[in-house]
Structure 1
Amino acid sequence: MTTPPTPQAPSQRQAPAPQHGPQTAPAGPYTSPIPVRRATLGDAIASEWTKIRSVRSTMWTLGVMIVLLIGIGLLAALAVNAVDSDLGSTPVLSLGFFGVLLGSICVITLGVMTIASEYGTGMIRTTLTACPSRARVLGAKAIVFFLLTFVITTVTTALVAVLQTALIDGTAPSGGEWLQATVGVGLYIATLGLLSLAVGALIRHSAGAITIMIGVVLLPLVLAMFMFTDSLADLRLALFQYSIPSQLSAFYSTSVAESGPSGWDPLWIMLGTTAVAMICAFVTLDRRDV
């Protein structure tokens, strides 16, 4: 009789015979052909430029601003030219003030939406995942927005100034008046837009931040108009002098108030205010979750 084979434990079973023939060596770690480098501020600026030029809000807000600046500036010049009115000591370039004041609302809107709209859509999470440095994100947004707004505002105000000077017979503006009415106004409006961007980062809500900024622009002047009592005379004068319309008119050698900031003083005031707001925006952005 034959003895049946004794079952073996799995550990005692014979391993399969090795296969003979060519074998492929195990693959090593994957190396990407794309060079890997550290992200820089230039990369963040390129990203923000792509975003700001590819959204419709940029085209509409800046397009409306250009139409307001050119349209109102030309209408004012044509109206003065049609009635053959003598401006007297009023600078010719001052006719561009009203178009710039209304156009600033468009810059405020775009400044707020540059960052607040990303909170509304949730895009800010993607932005901060791609670029964890929040200071770099805020700085890139500020640089791109400031340069874009400054260039467009300066070029448009210069065009309006040339057209108004050609249409109206009056005292030729000096070089300083030209510089303030073009470069000065461009710097002031772009800085005002940066202030709006900072408020948008603090509020994180487009409609709320835009409402706050419109109040900052118009409310002091409106309140001052209704302060009739003598006890509020000093406050009324301060509101008139330091309201944004009054500061903006200083670049045209005119003033809504009888006294107040003149020359380049409004720009320094706006730069200081915007710097404080941007610091608060960075601290808030760095400490709050998204």
Structure 2
Amino acid sequence: MSGGYTSPIPVVRTHFGHAVASEWTKIRSVRSTMWTLGVFVVLVMGVGLLTAVLVSANAGPYDLEGDNPLSYGVFGLLLGSMCVITLGVLTTASEYGTGMIRTTMVACPSRGRVLAAKALVFFAVAFAFTFVATLIVALADVALLDGAKTPTTGDWVKGTFGVSLFIALLGLLSLAVGSIVRHSAGAITIMIGLVLAPLVLALFMFTDALSGLRDFLIEYSIPNLLSTFYAETLTEAGPSAWDAVLVAVLVTGAAFGMAFALLEKRDV
């Protein structure tokens, strides 16, 4: 009696590394990644350098004294964060829109593994691009703004590594929201509202009774949290740069907890 059939194709037990390799192939092969990251780099570097050039051309010999030259990069980062938000949402939500998520889950039935792999790959890409862009802008701004103060080691760490960590976490939050909502336009709208709405709402709170809420919304708005990496805060009190990172970690962690729970309960 002959033996059973043996497939010539080797059978390999899948692991987390396979999921990471799959997500890396996806994120680098789709055109949305190239466009969003390309626009991100243009905004961060273009706006940051243009701001420094204009300030340098119009400032007097003592106007820049005491200014942190790295701070002029915040304008480009605030605009560029919209690109990171968009890419984070598309990393998850676009697969639900195209139906590709079914193929992904067949290839890797462990849903939590898929989401974790997406998060790891996206975070690495977002952090790397942000760090390189902010470092180039920081070096250029220091060279352009001769009258400004010399940044300390802490200024360099916050203005490059710290702010890159914050932007990457903001993108991770967008990825989690995309997984929860499963709709690209809806998730992007939610994230843009999260970035802009608190500060806009605070501007319309004129009464003293709402002063506490107004200060809270201003201090913990995304623009103000970004500013803490270059200055203490936009208000007299409020979070520091590393407080901003902690807030981003806690909010993103909570969003991922919800995303994991819903991913296990809902059909794809």
TM-score by length of 2: 0.96
- 1:1-290 → structure 2 map (5 Å cutoff): 28-85=3-60, 86-169=63-146, 170-290=148-268
- Mapped to 2, the partners of 1:175 and 1:98 lie a distance apart of 22
One-letter amino acid of the counterpart of residue 59, structure 1? M
Residue 27 of structure 1 and its aligned partner are, at CA, apart by 5.8
Residue 229 of structure 1 and its aligned partner are, at CA, apart by 0.8
Aligned-residue sequence identity (percent) comes to 61
One-letter amino acid of the counterpart of residue 173, structure 1? P
Structure with greater proportional helix content? 2
- Mapped to 2, the partners of 1:163 and 1:32 lie a distance apart of 59
- Mapped to 1, the partners of 2:137 and 2:207 lie a distance apart of 41
- Mapped to 2, the partners of 1:125 and 1:81 lie a distance apart of 54
CA contact (8 A) 2:48 2:137 kept: yes
Residue 87 of structure 1 and its aligned partner are, at CA, apart by 2.1
Residue by residue over 1:26-77, the C-alpha shift from the partner in whole angstroms, topping out at 9 and shown as x without a partner, is 7643322332121000000000000011111100000000000110011111
Residue 258 of structure 1 and its aligned partner are, at CA, apart by 2.7
Residue by residue over 1:225-246, the C-alpha shift from the partner in whole angstroms, topping out at 9 and shown as x without a partner, is 1110111110000001111111
Q: Which runs of 4+ in 1 moved over 6 A?
A: none
Residue 101 of structure 1 and its aligned partner are, at CA, apart by 0.5
Where 1:239 maps in the other structure, the secondary structure is: helix
One-letter amino acid of the counterpart of residue 286, structure 1? E
Return 65-74 or 245-254, whichever deviates more. 245-254
One-letter amino acid of the counterpart of residue 197, structure 1? L
CA contact (8 A) 1:94 1:254 kept: no
Residue 84 of structure 1 and its aligned partner are, at CA, apart by 2.9
One-letter amino acid of the counterpart of residue 114, structure 2? V
For the pair shown, which has the larger CA radius of gyration, 1 or 2?
1
Return 187-196 or 77-86, whichever deviates more. 77-86
CA contact (8 A) 1:245 1:256 kept: no
Residue 273 of structure 1 and its aligned partner are, at CA, apart by 0.6
Which 5+ residue runs of structure 1 have no aligned equivalent?
1-25
User: Which residue does the alignment assign to 1:20?
Assistant: none
- Mapped to 1, the partners of 2:232 and 2:41 lie a distance apart of 23
- Mapped to 2, the partners of 1:268 and 1:254 lie a distance apart of 16
CA contact (8 A) 2:162 2:241 kept: no
Residue by residue over 1:265-284, the C-alpha shift from the partner in whole angstroms, topping out at 9 and shown as x without a partner, is 10011001100000100000
Q: CA RMSD in A?
A: 1.1
- Mapped to 2, the partners of 1:97 and 1:279 lie a distance apart of 30
Residue by residue over 1:121-175, the C-alpha shift from the partner in whole angstroms, topping out at 9 and shown as x without a partner, is 0000000011000010000000000000001100110000000001111211011
One-letter amino acid of the counterpart of residue 35, structure 1? P
- Mapped to 2, the partners of 1:286 and 1:213 lie a distance apart of 23
One-letter amino acid of the counterpart of residue 156, structure 1? A
Residue 259 of structure 1 and its aligned partner are, at CA, apart by 1.8
Task: Report how many aligned residue pairs link the two structures.
Answer: 265
One-letter amino acid of the counterpart of residue 58, structure 2? V
Where 1:132 maps in the other structure, the secondary structure is: coil
